[in-house]
A = this chain, B = another copy of it.
Amino acid sequence: MVTPLLDDNQLDQKGLENLIEHILSGGVHGLFILGTTGEGPSLKYSLRVELIKRVCNQVDGRVPILAGIMDSSLKESVYIANIAKEAGVQAVVAAPPYFFPVSKVELSGYFNQLLSEVTLPVYLYNQPTLTKLTLDVPLVRDLLKKPNVIGFKDSSGDMTYFQKIKSLVREHDIPLLCGPEELLAESLFAGGDGGVSGGANVFPALYVDIFDAMAAGNFEKAMKLNEIVFMVSNILYSGGDYGSGGVINGIKSALAHFGILQSNHVVSPLSSACPFTPEQLELLQTTINNR
């Protein structure tokens, strides 16, 4: 879930309410806030705290909430995890720290300490493009033995890695979620358990329909929907030559266009620039409606 903002210092409260209802109406099975798409590491702490509380209030138990606690400081990750617990979040999502390029031994030490200090259940989060560190297979094997590790999200896009992790999580009977929405159908085919799809901020039912089609063994339908996913991604994430790929500003601009958010504001270092024309978005909406 993106974080609706009026400016660097204020949540878009009305937009946040709209967005949560919009996403839930699509049939999703949970919400992941303060992830990469949620701009977690870019937001000031008071906003992270306020967001957690407002989301918990609004969702009010209808679906589970996962909150990202990524930080360069372990103790600040624990702080956010504590806030999340008080607010009623079901689990936190923990990625490697992202300043020092640490060794395997140090990364293992980091997660062991984090898992001992965080009292909520934890999803491990592999996000090498952003953290520049990979949760390698032997480390994951070790960490999965901790009782408070209850899930894994892989945003690497590396499906060989994904399948290796699948064989590990299966032994512990915990879910493996796929980050890149373009690989949602494929990851379910390969044994994955779900997706955390950024595009679901805008068109939540599309991704839920893929999940349902795959669960029903209707692979042909899933692959047709998958083609629409590619079309959506090609438009939504076409935001020029930015390193960040135009993902967040694309989603927020679409949501603002459709009246769900009041503003497409994105905090620095990312850009709010709107990457597409209203005509592109209308075309997209029509395609979705007629799928």
Residue contact A243 to B106, C-beta cutoff 8 Å: yes
Q: A41-B73, A42-B73, A45-B76 are in contact. Are A189 and B219 (CB under 8 A)?
A: yes
Interface-located stretch among A52-60, A160-168, A282-290: A160-168
A159: CB under 8 A from chain B?
A: yes
A216 at the interface (CB under 8 A from B): no
Contacts of A270 in B (CB 8 A): 100, 102, 106
Among B113, B160, B190, B240, contact of A268 (Cβ-Cβ < 8 Å):
B113
What are the residues of chain B within 8 A of A191 when measuring CB–CB? 223
CA distance A267 to B102 in the complex (A): 12
Chain B CB within 10 Å — which of A72, A75, A269 has the most? A269
The 0/1 profile, CB within 8 Å of B marked 1, for residues 125-159 of chain A is: 00001111000000000000000000000000111
Measured between beta carbons, the chain B residues less than 8 angstroms from A42 are 72-74, 97, 99-100
A98 close to chain B: CB less than 8 A? yes
Using known A-B contacts A100-B42, A241-B103, determine if residue A74 contacts B132 with beta carbons closer than 8 Å.
no
Shortest CB-to-CB span from A139 to chain B, Å, is: 13
Binding site for B on A (CB under 8 A): 8-9, 41-45, 70-76, 79, 96-103, 105-107, 109-110, 113-114, 129-132, 157-160, 163-164, 167, 180, 182-183, 185-186, 189-191, 219, 223, 226-227, 230, 240-244, 267-271
Listed by A's residue number, 12 A-B pairs whose Cβ atoms lie within 8 Å are: A42-B100, A44-B79, A99-B130, A100-B130, A100-B270, A101-B130, A105-B271, A106-B271, A113-B268, A160-B180, A186-B190, A191-B223
